[in-house]
Amino acid sequence: MASVQKFADYEVAAQLNHNNRAIAIPSNKDIDHDRTGENYSLAPERGTSCYDYYKDRKAQLYCYNRKDVKSMAGWIITAPKDLPLYDYRNFFAACYQFLSQKYGEENIIQAVVHNDEEGQPHLHCCFIPVVPDRKHGGEKICANDVLTRKELRNFHPELQKYLKDNGIDANINSGITRQQGGSRTVKALKKERTRDWSVDICNDDKTVGRWN
């Protein structure tokens, strides 16, 4: 039902442009460009581009000067198939508020709902993973400290509770055995969006998904 990815600095611009449909010839063949106008943003209007905001916010944080540092992460949250159509906007708005509270709205770079692909509508929420910097003071970027095993395992139950507490009747499941599908990459899972799935673990900066 949700997946997470991590991006190095050199990958950020392309990912943000892809989500904003700013790439002239996208690699994703599932996009229906006649419906791109149905996409919408949930992030606040900041008077600048997503990428410029990313650079400005990143400059305020300590970040190790290594090419492999994952300076942005992104959740993809797909609307459950049993969710009534009239409740989609409320569902995604609640998901955005949940993510903003969890990671800090000032760290949210982009939050775009896609209605122009095959399968269920889904939210792309990209953020800078920020934690306190006990060594240098202030804050630093550290995806591994934010997207821990515990964080990934608790994500679905916490989101389920948040939705319920806010009156959103959406069934979010997590956990699976290998016999029910095993692991998939993010790319493979997106190709089969008609089935719900969740992130279980994240090793060596590679996302591992499991079917619900």
| Interval 130-165: pLDDT, tens | 999 999 899 999 999 999 999 999 999 999 999 999
Q: Domain of residue 126: give its range.
A: 2-172
> Which pLDDT score, from 0 to 100, does residue 177 have?
25
Q: How many domains does the structure of the chain reveal? A: 1
Which residue type, as a one-letter code, is found at position 183? S
Q: 49 burial class (0-12, 13-18, 19+ CB within 10 angstroms)? A: middle
pLDDT digits over 95-137, tens only? Answer: 999 999 999 999 999 999 999 888 899 999 999 999 999 998 9
* Percent of the chain's residues with pLDDT above 70: 78
Is the residue at 196 inside a domain? Answer: no
Is the residue at 183 inside a domain? Answer: no
Query: Each residue of 142-168: b (16+ CB within 10 Å) or e?
Result: bbeebbeeebbbebbeebbebbeeeeb
CB atoms within 10 A of CB 111: 26
User: CA-based angle 165:170:171, to the nearest 5?
Assistant: 110
Is the residue at 193 inside a domain? Answer: no
CATH classification at residue 83: 3.30.930.30
Is the residue at 133 inside a domain? Answer: yes
> Which pLDDT score, from 0 to 100, does residue 133 have?
96
Most confident of 17-26, 76-85, 89-98, 110-119: 89-98
Backbone angles phi, psi at 71, to 5 degrees: -95, -5
> Which pLDDT score, from 0 to 100, does residue 30 have?
74
Is the residue at 189 inside a domain? Answer: no
Is the residue at 23 inside a domain? Answer: yes
Q: Are 81 and 120 in contact (CB under 8 A)?
A: yes
Is the residue at 188 inside a domain? Answer: no
Q: Are 139 and 61 in contact (CB under 8 A)?
A: yes
Length of the chain measured in residues: 212
The pTM for the full model equals: 0.81
Is the residue at 45 inside a domain? Answer: yes
Which of 9-18, 36-45, 52-61, 176-185 bottoms out in mean pLDDT, i.e. has the lowest?
A: 176-185
